[in-house]
Copies of this chain bind each other. A is one copy, B any other.
Amino acid sequence: MPAILNSSLFILHHHPLFSTLRRHHHLNISLFSPSRNTNLRASSSSLSVESSANQNVRTGRSGSATAPPVEHDTAQKIDVNPPKGTRDFPPEEMRLRNWLFSNFREVSQQFGFEEVDFPVLESEALYIRKAGEEIRDQLYCFEDRGNRRVALRPELTPSLARLVIQKGKSVSLPLKWFAIGQCWRYERMTRGRRREHYQWNMDIIGVPDVTAEAELISSIITFFKRIGLTTSDVGFKVSSRKVLQEVLRCYSVPENMFGRVCIIIDKIGKIPRDDIRKDLQSADMSEVAIEELLQVLSLNSLEKLEEKLGASGEALSDLKQLFSLAEKYGYSEWLQFDASIVRGLAYYTGIVFEGFDREGKLRAICGGGRYDRLLSTFGGDDLPACGFGFGDAVILELLKERGLLPELNLQVENIVCSLDQELQGAASEVASVLREKGQSVDLVLENKPLKWVFKRAARINARRLILVGKVEWEKGMVNVKTLSTGEQLEIKLDELE
């Protein structure tokens, strides 16, 4: 759409600038092109005012009559949707996001965690692991204008590890950090999954004991309870990568295959079992080892695990300790052992867990585990560490399905409106007074019919409507209407609370 030049042009001959113009003898009057002259002439006609009023029709007003020229070289209609796989957050979505994040934040703080964040754009090198992880294959990576390989972070843990190494000995352990950040992955978009999501992370750095994992799971359960979920809605599947490790060692599978084997096993149930077998074979596993492994992975009680691995291994003692702590915390009914849980990230080394919905309809709600060896993969000194990631997508799906999404409405305490164009400034003064007293105020910025004002008051769930009318204002008073009761009072401006 080309720019419509309308109205607002000064009457050239009465304009002081024009006298300046005339003083300059070398001025080339022909600069005023015929079409410009037409515009200038049109400027004083009522037609142009009409076209301006049309433009403002959605505001219900004829308003400013000026439309200064803007370059319209790119005025073909743009795609009004956010890029594929991404979201806008209009107010109603933003309220939900803020509600969710507040719950993440308050739970984290209740557990004594400190918030941190990292750049959404990181060096690609931070995510290059050779284990065939889904997250690695879906890296949203670019070359920047300085020819550096960069990536939109697919997860927060590598950045956290980087920061921990950077801080070195300047921080006192244990660190208890949480973050809520946007993460990206370049998926094919076949499964209705988005390319970005927000992820809540809590990490404990410096605690080798399973007490750390128990504390993390406790915080997630605290979060679940806060938002109305019970143990009949959700639960945790728990295992330890040490189970796998013990099996693999037994069959002399080379250590550098550990991460890769974990990633393959994580695909059980997602890809055909024969493909799993083939992948495991290509990871240097013998047929017998594969069968044994698959059998171990089907175990779902610690008793059976003990029968299989014996009582002396760490896998079993870690898991036993976790279940014992769960009892003390009071959340053991949320927890179940499931040897098939390995999680899809290469860096986990010990306990792994994931939150799931009991109806089994959704992907994992959250997942985490111990990653005691991640720092050294970045060239740092290892520190015992564990953490989890909790996305915003699945939990909102679940809450929606359970009818547990909160009703979050805009609420502004007061709406202030002048009854007269001339009292607009007075209304501003009233709004200022209220705001200085800590009240929220939606100030009506135009001269609007009362019907419109009441409609807006309802939309913003205002408690009070404050009208500034001429007669009251001359007495330093305003008309205050409590909208729930209809009660109406004249109140002195300096007595307005």
Cβ–Cβ < 8 Å partners of A121 in chain B: 83, 86, 152, 184, 196
B445 in contact with A174 (CB, 8 Å): yes
In the complex, chain B residues whose CB is within 8 Å of the CB of A325? 424-425, 428
> Are A163 and B111 within 8 A (Cβ)?
no
CA distance A72 to B380 in the complex (A): 12
A110 is an interface residue with CB less than 8 A from chain B: yes
- Which of the four size classes fits the interface of chain A? 35 or more
Q: Which residues of B contact A27 (CB under 8 A)?
A: 286, 288
- A145-158: contact bitstring with B at CB < 8 Å (1 yes, 0 no)? 11010101000000
The answer to whether A258 touches B71, judged by C-beta atoms less than 8 angstroms apart, is yes
Taking A16-B310, A69-B245, A119-B86 as contacts, is the C-beta distance between A204 and B445 under 8 angstroms? yes
Residues 90-109 of A at the B interface (beta carbon under 8 Å) = 90-91, 94-95, 97-98, 109
- Interface flags, A16-30, vs B, CB<8A=1, else 0: 111011001011100
In the complex, 27 of the A-B residue pairs with CB atoms within 8 angstroms, ordered by the A residue number, are: A3-B373, A17-B309, A17-B310, A21-B288, A26-B288, A27-B288, A59-B206, A64-B208, A64-B318, A65-B314, A66-B242, A66-B245, A68-B242, A68-B350, A69-B258, A70-B347, A72-B377, A74-B130, A82-B118, A82-B159, A88-B118, A110-B435, A204-B445, A207-B446, A208-B446, A325-B425, A327-B425
Q: Which of these, B55, B65, B84, contacts A382 with CB under 8 Å?
A: B55
Given contacts A17-B247, A309-B17, A379-B1, contact A115 B140 (CB under 8 A): no
A126 at interface, CB cutoff 8 A = yes
Contact B21 A251 (CB under 8 A): yes
Is A271 in contact with chain B by the CB < 8 A criterion? no
Contact indicator per residue, chain A 190-214, by CB within 8 Å of chain B (1) or not (0): 0000001000000010111101101
Cβ of A41 within 8 Å of any chain B Cβ, yes or no, is no
Give per-residue flags for A364-403: 1 if the beta carbon is below 8 A from chain B beta carbons, else 0.
0000000011101111111110000000000000000000
Q: Of B64, B174, B381, which is within 8 A of A350 by CB?
A: B64
Tell me whether A173 and B16 are in contact (CB under 8 A).
no
A11 lies within 8 A of chain B by Cβ = yes
Count identical subunits in the complex: 2
Are B59 and A207 in contact (CB-based, < 8 A)? yes
A14 within 8 A of B: yes
Taking CB atoms and an 8 Å cut-off, the chain A residues in 412-430 that contact chain B are 412, 415, 424-426, 428-429
Known: A27-B288, A111-B441. A166 touches B118 (CB 8 A): no
Complexed CA–CA distance, A20 and B247 (Å): 11
Distance, CA A159 to CA B81, complexed state (A)? 10
Asked if A218 and B123 sit within 8 Å, CB to CB, the answer is no
* A256 interface hit (Cβ, 8 Å): yes
A209 to B: closest C-beta gap in Å: 6
